[in-house]
Amino acid sequence: MFESLSDRLNGVFKKFRGQGRLDEENIRAGLREVRLALLEADVNYKVVKDFVDRVRERAMGQDVLKSLTPGQQVVKIVHDELVELLGGEQQDLELRAKGPAVIMMVGLQGSGKTTTTGKLALHLRKDRKMSPLMVPADVYRPAAIQQLTSLGKQLDMPVFASSTEMNPVDIAKNAVAQAEAEGQDVVILDTAGRLHIDEHLMEELANIKAAVSPNEILFVADAMTGQDAVNVADRFNDLLDVSGIVLTKMDGDARGGAALSIKSVTDKPIKFVGVGEKLSELEIFHPDRIAGRILG
C-alpha cells in the first residue's frame, strides 16, 4: 500500500535534504512535485490544494528558512500535516452502553461489509474480551445471511437467526433483546448494501438507526474504488451521520487516494483498515504509523 506515492515523495524529499539552503523558489518547486504525487495517488484535488497550501505557509516561515536544516524541517512539516490529513489521533470504538453495545455496518454491496463484520467480531473477542452477536440484516439476499452464518461457524460465535421474511428493523430490535437476554455485550448489525445508493436502502438504514441507536455506525469502503469511495462515504454520512470508516482491500494496489481524502471530506475518522481476505486481516488505523509508512 502507498508504494508509488511513497517513492515519489521520497524522491522529492531527497532533493530537499540534499540542499544546504532552501529559498522560497525551491520550496515552491518541491511542493509542486508533492502536489503532483498526491494527485497521481488519486487524492481529492481540493484536499491536495489545502494540504499543499498549509505546508507551504508553514515551510515559508523564516525560522524554517533560516534554520540549519531547512530540508529536514520541511519534511517534518509534511509528516505532521499528513498525520492530520489521516485523522490525527487514533480513534477507538466507543462501546460504552447500558445494555449491549450496537455497531451498525453500512456500505455498498461488495465493499467488504460481511467480511469486516466477522473480522470486527474476532477483534472484539480477542483484543477487548467482548462477546459479540453477529446479525445478518440483509433480507434481500439469502446468500448474505448464509455468508455471515458460515463466518459464525468458523469463529464459533453466535449469529442471530434472521430470515428473509423478517423486516430489518425487527431483526435489529430482536437481536439486541436476544443479546441482552443471553449475555452478549456487543451486537454487530450487517446491513443490506446495494450496488448504488438508493432511497429505499437509505430509509431502511435510517429506520434501523432510529430503532436501536447504535453506538457506532461504521461506513465500509473499498479502497480500490478511490474517489468513488470518498463520494459514497460523504453521501452515507450526510444521511446517517456515521461515526467512523473502515477502508477495506488496502492490501490491493489502491493508490492511497481514498485513505488520504476520506477524513477531510467527511470529517469522520478511519478506525480500521482491511488488509486481506482472512478474518485476522484487520488493523486498527493509526494515522501516525501510516504517515510514517508513506514517508518511510
Annotated binding site for GTP: 107-114, 190-194, 248-251
Binding ligand GDP (rule: CB under 6 A), the pick from 30, 70, 100, 112 is 112
| The three grid cell numbers given for residue 144, joined into one nine-digit string | 448474505
Q: In this complex, which beta carbon is closest to ligand GDP, that of residue 80 or of residue 251? A: 251
Q: In this complex, which beta carbon is closest to ligand GDP, that of residue 234 or of residue 251? A: 251
In the complex, minimum distance from the CB of residue 93 to ligand GDP, in angstroms, rounded to a whole number: 18
Binding ligand GDP (rule: CB under 6 A), the pick from 44, 114, 191, 243 is 114
In the complex, minimum distance from the CB of residue 193 to ligand GDP, in angstroms, rounded to a whole number: 5
* Beta bridge partners of residue 220, listed in sequence order: 246
| Phi-psi category of residue 140: left, alpha or beta, with phi > 0 → left and psi -120 to 50 → alpha | alpha
First-last CA distance in the chain: 12
| Cα–Cα dist 99/76, whole Å | 45
Binding mask 253-292 for ligand GDP (x = CB under 6 A): ---------------------xxxx---x-----------
Q: At what angle do helices 3-18 and 24-40 cross, to 10 degrees?
A: 170
3-state secondary structure 72-96: HHHHHHHHHHHHHHCCCCCCCCCCC
Q: Does 162 bind ligand GDP (CB under 6 A)?
A: no
Q: In this complex, which beta carbon is closest to ligand GDP, that of residue 33 or of residue 281? A: 281
Q: In this complex, which beta carbon is closest to ligand GDP, that of residue 79 or of residue 286? A: 286
| Cα–Cα dist 222/116, whole Å | 11
Contact residues toward ligand GDP (CB under 6 A) are: 107, 109-115, 193, 248-249, 251-252, 274-277, 281
